[in-house]
């Protein structure tokens, strides 16, 4: 443009604009002039649009009035990158903010580290994060601001409380972990020795609580950790505290150890070589160990665990704890509906190596070593057929009521024999409990609100001295009622969460094949497999059953 000159000053920092009105051909357009300067080597520096417009307006006025006085303005400058730290209120995090330079210098790592030190940041600063941010700034447009978290404090980690560590395994744990031979191969028939302990044998130890991990802020202030608590030892029957170590429990008599719900017990153990017509039925207050078979129509009843190292045929087995049958169990269809001649009842878990024609009822989980067919199962937990860590067994022609996952290698059979799994019972129990608790919450909430109104009225009035004691008692009762309401409301929340978790948990999983004829039920929500599928699972989501193939 005629009459317009611009360029750096002698220090190559500021950009000066000079307009000579006498040499102008026409009035200047500030936007066109700004774009012209931007497209030159001066485009990398900061240019002020307002200053350029002001200079053009002044020159245009002089041009129209034939005034030849030159107009000179500083319209831009080189600007180095702008660097700042933002530190969180709790001093646990710092954000580095860098604005890309206008033709100026980029910050160095050394300069940023120095600024961090001046800002009080002495711990938790990540040089790699800073260098990554600087690389992004080099690629950014001039004036663009890049933020990144570059420093973090370490929150304290509270110590864990003391806990009980069993020193001897449960019988069921032993069964579910077959032994390894000297050649390194796993022998599914070798389940190790049956664990029975003698009197004075250490069975469980209370591990001391940890001190926790001390944390720190980015400014170096230490954050103390809360040490763990010493939790009381829960003692079951048949154990006592060691005289030599108050954190050690020993068996008070010989028997079979059982560690359940953080409580160790040692049950008196009755041992026999088999249960048959010659030995008679077994009814024992404690654990029972049968090193042999249980024959037809025999009964074995115990308040503790029952371990049978043999075969069970059309017998009745009932345990207050777990039932473990290391070989197999077999029965026949009974005249009673949903019943077989071989009945297994347990308050805990049931494990059978393989089974057919069984009626199984237990409060916890059912595990089958190889195969289960033509049986009825009611359990409060899961059903697993095969090794626990890799179930590959077969499950078919059964009716199952479960409250957790049902998993096997093969579900159903080629013949199309039906396999039904019903998850309704556990769900309905939860719904019933939720309804009861919510009714109780409503009743308590109404009472509490009514009592609060009464207490507010009393608080506004002058209370005679002779009535103060009764008013204080009423206030204490009201506070107790409020605490009870809060506790019940928390229980209601927990129960609703348990209902959601139940629906997320229930499913069937076939790790090898899922055949036709397999049906699932949750009240009125049903699903049926109408053909053969490869590895797959069926789970309950959004009030519907959903089939999904297993891809890994």
User: Token pair of 473, please?
Assistant: 């008692």
Interval 460-519: pLDDT, tens: 888 888 888 888 888 899 999 999 999 999 999 999 999 999 999 999 999 999 999 999
Q: Within this chain, do residues 538 and 460 fall inside the same structural domain, yes or no?
A: no
* Final residue before a domain boundary, out of 93, 127, 152: 152
Average pLDDT over residues 348-356: 94
Closest residue by Cα to residue 332 from 351, 309, 315, 311: 315
Q: Within this chain, do residues 411 and 303 fall inside the same structural domain, yes or no?
A: yes
Give the position of tokens 């580290």.
113
Residue 243 lies in a domain: no
Indicate if the pLDDT at residue 193 is higher than 50. no
Q: Which pLDDT score, from 0 to 100, does residue 175 have? A: 61
Return all residues near 302 (Cβ < 8 A) that are at least 6 apart. 270, 282, 283, 284, 285, 286, 287, 288, 318, 319, 320, 321
User: Token pair of 121, please?
Assistant: 């940041």
Give the position of tokens 């008679």.
280
Domain count along the chain:
4
Q: What does the alpha-carbon distance between residue 270 and residue 302 come to, in Å, rounded to a whole number?
A: 9
Q: Confidence class of residue 179 from pLDDT cuts 50, 70 and 90?
A: low
Q: Within this chain, do residues 391 and 328 fall inside the same structural domain, yes or no?
A: yes
Q: Are 97 and 84 in contact (CB under 8 A)?
A: yes
Q: Within this chain, do residues 347 and 307 fall inside the same structural domain, yes or no?
A: yes
| 528 φ/ψ angles, rounded to the nearest 5 degrees | -140, 135
Distance from first CA to last CA of the chain, Å, rounded? Answer: 70
Residue 199 lies in a domain: no
* Final residue before a domain boundary, out of 120, 152, 184: 152
Q: Within this chain, do residues 461 and 514 fall inside the same structural domain, yes or no?
A: no
How many CA atoms within 13 Å lie on the side-chain side of 411? 33
Residue 263 lies in a domain: no
Q: Which pLDDT score, from 0 to 100, does residue 189 have? A: 47
Q: Within this chain, do residues 385 and 528 fall inside the same structural domain, yes or no?
A: yes
Q: Within this chain, do residues 483 and 514 fall inside the same structural domain, yes or no?
A: no
Indicate if the pLDDT at residue 190 is higher than 50. no
Tell me the angle at which helices 49-64 and 30-38 cross, rounded to the nearest 10 degrees. 130
Which helix (H) or strand (E) is 495 found in, with range?
Answer: helix 465-505
Q: Within this chain, do residues 73 and 33 fall inside the same structural domain, yes or no?
A: yes
Q: What does the alpha-carbon distance between residue 212 and residue 228 come to, in Å, rounded to a whole number?
A: 7
Residue 116 lies in a domain: yes
Indicate if the pLDDT at residue 218 is higher than 70. yes
Q: Which pLDDT score, from 0 to 100, does residue 191 have? A: 47
Q: Within this chain, do residues 413 and 472 fall inside the same structural domain, yes or no?
A: no
Q: Within this chain, do residues 518 and 462 fall inside the same structural domain, yes or no?
A: no
pTM of the model: 0.68
Residue 304 lies in a domain: yes
Mapping DSSP onto H, E and C, the string for 89-110 reads CCCCEEEEEEECCEECCCCCHH
Which of the 8 DSSP states describes residue 294? Answer: B
Rounded to the nearest angstrom, the gap between the alpha carbon of residue 151 and the centroid of all alpha carbons in its chain is 27
Residues composing the chain: 552
Q: Within this chain, do residues 416 and 482 fall inside the same structural domain, yes or no?
A: no
Residue 339: domain span: 288-424+506-549
Give the position of tokens 């005249």.
335
Residue 280 lies in a domain: no
Residue 520 lies in a domain: yes
Residue 234 lies in a domain: no
Mean pLDDT of the chain: 90
Q: What does the alpha-carbon distance between residue 416 and residue 64 come to, in Å, rounded to a whole number?
A: 100
* Final residue before a domain boundary, out of 125, 152, 179: 152
Q: Within this chain, do residues 498 and 540 fall inside the same structural domain, yes or no?
A: no
Interval 285-315: pLDDT, tens: 889 999 999 999 999 999 999 999 999 999 9
Q: Which pLDDT score, from 0 to 100, does residue 38 have? A: 86
């Amino acid at each position: 443009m005629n009459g317009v000159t611009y360029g750096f000053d002698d220090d190559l920092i500021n950009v000066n604009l000079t307009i000579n009105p006498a040499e102008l051909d026409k009035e200047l357009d500030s936007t066109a002039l700004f774009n012209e300067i931007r497209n030159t080597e001066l485009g990398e520096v900061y240019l002020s649009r307002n200053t350029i417009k002001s200079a053009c307006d002044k020159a245009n006025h002089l041009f129209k009035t034939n005034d030849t006085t030159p107009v000179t303005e500083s319209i831009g400058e080189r600007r180095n990158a702008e660097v700042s730290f933002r530190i969180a209120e709790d001093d646990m995090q710092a954000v580095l903010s860098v604005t890309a330079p206008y033709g100026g210098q980029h910050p160095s790592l050394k300069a940023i580290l120095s600024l961090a030190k001046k800002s009080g940041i002495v711990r938790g600063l990540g040089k790699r994060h800073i260098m990554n941010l600087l690389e992004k700034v080099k690629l950014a447009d001039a004036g663009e601001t890049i933020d990144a978290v570059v420093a973090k404090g370490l929150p304290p980690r509270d110590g864990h409380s003391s806990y009980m560590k069993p020193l001897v395994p449960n019988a069921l744990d032993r069964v579910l972990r077959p032994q390894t031979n000297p050649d390194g191969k796993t022998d599914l028939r070798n389940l190790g020795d049956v664990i029975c302990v003698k009197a004075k044998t250490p069975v469980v130890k209370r591990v001391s609580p940890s001190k926790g991990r001390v944390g720190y802020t980015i400014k170096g202030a230490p954050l103390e950790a809360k040490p763990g608590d010493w939790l009381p030892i829960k003692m079951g029957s048949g154990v006592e505290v060691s005289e030599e170590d108050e954190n050690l429990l020993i068996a008070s008599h010989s028997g079979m150890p059982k560690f359940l719900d953080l409580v160790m017990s040692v049950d008196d153990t009755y041992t026999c070589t088999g249960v048959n017509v010659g030995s008679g039925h077994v009814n024992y207050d404690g654990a029972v160990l049968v090193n042999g078979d249980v024959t037809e129509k025999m009964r074995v009843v115990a308040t503790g665990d029952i371990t049978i190292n043999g075969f069970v045929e059309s017998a009745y087995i009932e345990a207050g704890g777990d039932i473990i049958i290391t070989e197999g169990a077999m029965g026949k269809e009974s005249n009673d509906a949903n019943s077989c001649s071989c009945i297994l009842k347990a308050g805990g878990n049931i494990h059978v190596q393989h089974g057919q024609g069984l009626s199984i009822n237990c409060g916890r989980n059912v595990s089958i070593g190889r195969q289960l067919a033509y049986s009825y199962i009611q359990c409060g937990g899961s059903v697993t057929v095969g090794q626990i860590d890799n179930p590959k067994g077969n499950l078919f022609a059964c009716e199952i009521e479960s409250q957790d996952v049902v998993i096997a290698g093969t579900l159903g059979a080629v013949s199309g024999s039906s396999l039904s799994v019903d998850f309704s019972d556990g769900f309905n129990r939860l719904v019933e409990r939720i309804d009861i608790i919510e009714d109780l919450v409503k009743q308590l909430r109404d009472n509490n609100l009514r009592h609060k109104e009464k207490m507010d009225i009393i608080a506004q009035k002058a209370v005679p001295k002779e009535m103060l004691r009764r008013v204080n008692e009423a206030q204490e009762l009201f506070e107790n009622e409020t605490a009870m309401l809060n506790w019940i409301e928390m229980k209601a929340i927990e129960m609703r969460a348990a209902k959601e978790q139940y629906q997320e948990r229930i499913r069937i999983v076939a790790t090898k094949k899922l055949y036709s004829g397999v049906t699932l039920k949750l009240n009125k929500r049903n699903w049926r497999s109408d053909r053969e599928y490869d590895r797959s699972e069926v789970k309950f989501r959004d009030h519907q059953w959903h089939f999904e193939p297993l891809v890994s």
